[in-house]
Amino acid sequence: MYNSKIAGLGFYVPENVVTNDDLSKIMDTNDEWIQERTGIRERRHVVKGEDTTTSMGVKAAQKAIERAGIDKNDIDFIVFATLSPDYYFPGPGVLVQRDLGLKTVGALDIRNQCSGFVYGVSVADQYIKSGMYKNVLVIGSELHSHGLDMTTRGRGVSVIFGDGAGAAVMTREEDPKKGVLSTHLHSEGEHAEELSLIAPGMGKRWVTDIIGDADPEDTSYFPYMNGQFVFKNAVVRFSEVIMEGLQTNNLTPTDIDMLIPHQANLRISQFIQKKFGLSDDQVFNNIMKYGNTTAASIPIALTEAWEAGKIKEGDLVVLAAFGSGFTWGSVIIRW
């Protein structure tokens, strides 16, 4: 039985920078209000016609494959995490297979929103441990900006999210003490509607309903978030799942060299950092520059931390996420 490890990382964000001051010109908000509540200063938005969820994922994947030192045809399987696919169906996994020009490898789409990349790493880890696949490409990519309510009505959600993609190539590790040590996944559907996008949906409002009504006041196709409720649940679940991973491996918070939390809100990350007694050098945040990129946030942050030399061989790296579903999870890695 093998372990799995991350052999290559890459990320891509659009060039178009949208600052808090830019948003204040189209909705009733300001830089101070946004930074105080979220820590975000700016985010990236796709210029229409220049990028898609898939194309951003492909660009991130190309970097990850190159850094892994393998040929693209060495990829055995694709895992693509997103809540913003190019099409309602098919999912973007097969579009990546096509656009990268890969062999007819399998492609799996994961819809676990902010926890998507953690879930994807867990799936890839199990495939590699079982010996079924050797090299698995895991992508998290999101294009939020085209689906947000960019008015004062939607500011509580729209100021938070940005576009971007991150990718990792996972491969076999012979040393059982290195690579992914364990993954931990959870869900609680009881609170599904507290962070959701209801339409289009077979259960409530379908595309034909929206088109037929043509109601400009219909907000069912915009994201909804009960911010305070999500925050309160997030800080609890983040703490629980990080401790679960540490305890499984007979570790403590003092063993953490780098924590990469999902970039949902800087205040959540700061709360977790303080609770675990971690220094600024032990936690990596980049939400200030990119906003919340959902499934892409952890691979983008992980890549930036690695590029900056903040992650070294032998380090204990912890990935943790919480989001819509509710879903949450953690990954414990010996780099």
Closest-CA residue to 66 (of 78, 54, 55, 74): 74
User: How many Cβ atoms are within 10 Å of 39's Cβ, its own excluded?
Assistant: 18
End-to-end CA distance of the chain: 19
Determine if the peptide bond prior to 92 is cis (ω within 30°): no
Residues 6+ positions from 218 with CB-CB distance below 8 Å: 199, 205, 210
Active site residues: 114, 262, 292
What does DSSP assign to residue 153? G
H or E element: which one contains 228? helix 227-248
H or E element: which one contains 21? helix 20-24
Three-state secondary-structure class, residue 96 = helix
Task: Provide the residue type at 23 as one letter.
Answer: L
CB 261 within 8 A of CB 328: no
CB 226 within 8 A of CB 194: yes
